[in-house]
């Protein structure tokens, strides 16, 4: 969440930043009003508390001096004030809870250098590699869901029978390709990132810590009986892994990675292309994550982006990098780069990674601080995340790009060690 001191001292600057997203800024005015009420009620409560404490001392002195009648009168006043103090304390708690709830609905401020614009049409193409629109042969222009059915490696019909629409089932070499991509994504980052295997169902507070709640509740799977949530990304548990803790500066940057299944209801996907693996409710992903100091954040952001792009580059897939406009950045992000792979069969660019710098927005929600070396006080860390490898769309890009004239699919060289040195997925006899 945003720093309440910033809203208090310069609300117009915050409103101007949030307006760059295209968001309604009236919530900021409401937060400022609630903050003023919290402080006013708190001040009155504290003044009364001080008076009650002073009366207690006076009453004790009067009793010692044998002035019981005067002490009794002051006791009546103290009792009345005490009841008022309790009432104000309850009011302050209610106002503080309302203020926190209001702040939870306000997105992060985009970075000053994030591109202006409200839709994905305003995103800036930073670079394009390996893409020649006229360079694809006819055998590559077959969508992966058709290739998967022809080769027996993707079984959409049975997945629907078991779980409903927008679920996928990989079979045989298709499942092997999936696990190869996961291991490939993990192995290439082991030099710097600690592997974590977090739970894939989490508490409500854990989802709040990243900004996925309350704003995106409609897009998440909720296990109501246990009040747990299926994670939409490993970013969620990795953020809260150190929630409420104070880290030493020497621990930063703290680099983490995790492979998990991820779950998204895709509530806003009605009418959009949901064929094959373009948009699924469950998918595997290798997530890269980091906590760092503010001074380290920009370098770590570029590091995660470079690692994610190199993973795609080494697979030989045509791709592009986008600098996201303010209106297309997620609620917790301040600056985001997307990596998209071109799928010639689907004839579209597929997002395979979003690499985001969230400043201290998530750390404030999850209360994650660090102690600067040589200082007594603490500061909030900055958090960053990015998909090291999102499996389904990379899988789709490989199957379409590497399809051969005879209908088989060649395995990219970088993946062959993870496929038992298998070089192709053959056409069934």
Please give the domain boundaries of the chain with CATH numbers for all domains: 4-104 (1.10.287.40), 120-425 (3.30.930.10)
Describe the chain by its helix, strand, coil percentages, rounded to 5.
Answer: 45, 20, 35
For residue 154, the 8-state DSSP code is B
Number of neighbouring beta carbons within 10 Å of residue 119: 10
What local confidence, expressed as pLDDT, does residue 268 receive?
65
The b/e string for 387-407 (b: 16+ C-beta within 10 A; e otherwise) is bbbbbbbbbbbbbbbbbeeee
The count of C-alpha atoms lying within 13 angstroms of the C-alpha of 154, restricted to the half-sphere facing its C-beta, is 22
For residue 160, the 8-state DSSP code is H
Rounded to whole angstroms, the Cα distance separating 429 from 423 reads 17
Pair 272, 209: CB distance under 8 Å: no
- State how far the alpha carbon of 378 is from the alpha carbons of 62, 307, 373, 384, in Å: 46, 30, 10, 19
286 - beta bridge partners?
A: 259, 389
Rounded to whole angstroms, the Cα distance separating 281 from 263 reads 5
Rounded to whole angstroms, the Cα distance separating 151 from 154 reads 8
* Helix or strand holding residue 42 (H, E): helix 26-64
Q: What are phi and psi of 176, to 5 degrees?
A: -65, -40
Q: What are phi and psi of 386, to 5 degrees?
A: -170, 150
Pair 323, 123: CB distance under 8 Å: yes
What local confidence, expressed as pLDDT, does residue 56 receive?
87
Using the structure block, give the residue that is written with the tokens 């389904």.
392
Per-residue pLDDT of the chain (429 residues; tens, 9 = 90+): 999 999 999 999 999 999 999 999 999 999 999 999 999 999 999 999 999 899 989 888 888 888 888 888 888 888 999 999 999 999 999 999 999 999 999 999 999 999 999 999 999 999 999 999 999 999 999 999 999 999 999 999 999 999 999 999 999 999 999 999 999 999 999 999 999 999 999 999 999 999 999 988 999 999 999 999 999 999 999 999 999 999 999 999 999 999 999 999 987 665 567 899 999 999 999 999 999 999 999 999 999 999 999 999 999 999 999 999 999 999 999 999 999 999 999 999 999 999 999 999 999 999 999 999 999 999 999 999 999 999 999 999 999 999 999 999 999 999 999 999 999 999 998
> Under 8 Å CB-to-CB from 417, ≥6 apart: which residues?
none
No. of H helices and E strands in the chain?
A: 12, 16
Using the structure block, give the residue that is written with the tokens 């001080």.
50
Length of the chain: 429
What local confidence, expressed as pLDDT, does residue 11 receive?
97
What local confidence, expressed as pLDDT, does residue 273 receive?
76
- Tokens linked to 65: 């001096």
Rounded to whole angstroms, the Cα distance separating 245 from 242 reads 5
SS3 341: strand
- State how far the alpha carbon of 60 is from the alpha carbons of 49, 57, 67, 329, 419, in Å: 17, 5, 10, 62, 83
For residue 204, the 8-state DSSP code is H
For residue 133, the 8-state DSSP code is T
Pair 40, 59: CB distance under 8 Å: no
Q: What are phi and psi of 262, to 5 degrees?
A: -130, 150
Pair 336, 110: CB distance under 8 Å: no
Number of neighbouring beta carbons within 10 Å of residue 182: 17
Pair 323, 124: CB distance under 8 Å: yes
Distance of CA 310 to the CA centre of its chain: 22
Q: What are phi and psi of 201, to 5 degrees?
A: -125, 135
Kind of pairing, strands 282-292 and 382-390? antiparallel
């Amino acid at each position: 969440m945003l720093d309440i001191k910033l809203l208090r001292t310069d609300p117009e600057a915050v409103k101007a930043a949030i307006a760059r997203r295209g968001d309604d800024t009236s919530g900021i005015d409401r937060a400022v009003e609630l903050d003023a009420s919290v402080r006013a009620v708190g001040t009155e409560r504290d003044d009364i508390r001080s008076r009650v404490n002073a009366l207690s001392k006076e009453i004790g002195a009067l009793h010692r001096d044998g002035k019981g009648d005067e002490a009794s009168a002051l006791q009546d006043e103290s009792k009345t004030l005490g009841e008022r103090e309790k009432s104000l304390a309850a009011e302050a708690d209610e106002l503080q809870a309302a203020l926190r709830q209001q702040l939870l609905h306000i997105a992060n401020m985009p970075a000053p250098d994030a591109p202006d614009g409200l839709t994905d049409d305003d995103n800036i193409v930073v670079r394009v590699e390996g893409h020649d629109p006229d360079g694809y042969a006819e055998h590559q222009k077959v969508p992966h869901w058709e290739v998967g059915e022809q080769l027996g490696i993707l079984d959409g019909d049975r997945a629907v029978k078991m779980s409903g629409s927008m679920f996928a089932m990989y079979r045989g070499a298709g499942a092997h390709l999936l696990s190869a991509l996961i291991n490939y994504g993990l192995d290439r980052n082991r030099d710097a990132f600690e592997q974590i295997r977090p739970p894939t169902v989490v508490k409500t507070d854990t989802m709040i810590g990243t900004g996925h709640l309350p704003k995106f509740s409609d897009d998440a799977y909720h296990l109501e009986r246990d009040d747990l949530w299926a994670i939409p990304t490993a970013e969620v548990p990795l953020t809260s892994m150190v929630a409420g803790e104070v880290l030493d500066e020497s621990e930063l940057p703290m680099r983490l990675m995790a492979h998990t299944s991820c779950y998204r209801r895709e509530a806003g996907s009605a009418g959009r292309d949901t064929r094959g693996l373009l948009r699924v409710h469950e998918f595997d992903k290798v997530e890269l994550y980091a906590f760092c100091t503010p001074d380290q954040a920009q370098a770590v952001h570029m590091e995660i982006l470079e690692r994610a792009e190199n993973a795609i580059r080494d697979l030989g897939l045509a791709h592009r990098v986008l600098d996201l406009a303010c209106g297309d950045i997620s609620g917790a992000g301040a600056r985001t780069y997307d990596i998209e792979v071109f799928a010639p069969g689907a004839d579209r660019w597929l997002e395979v990674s979003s690499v985001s710098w969230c400043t201290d927005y998530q750390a404030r929600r999850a209360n994650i601080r660090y102690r600067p070396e040589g200082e007594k006080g603490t500061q909030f860390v900055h958090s960053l995340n990015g998909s090291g490898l999102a499996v389904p769309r990379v899988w789709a890009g490989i199957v379409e790009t590497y399809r051969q004239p005879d209908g088989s699919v060649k395995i990219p060289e970088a993946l062959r060690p993870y496929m038992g040195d298998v070089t192709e997925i053959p056409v069934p006899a």
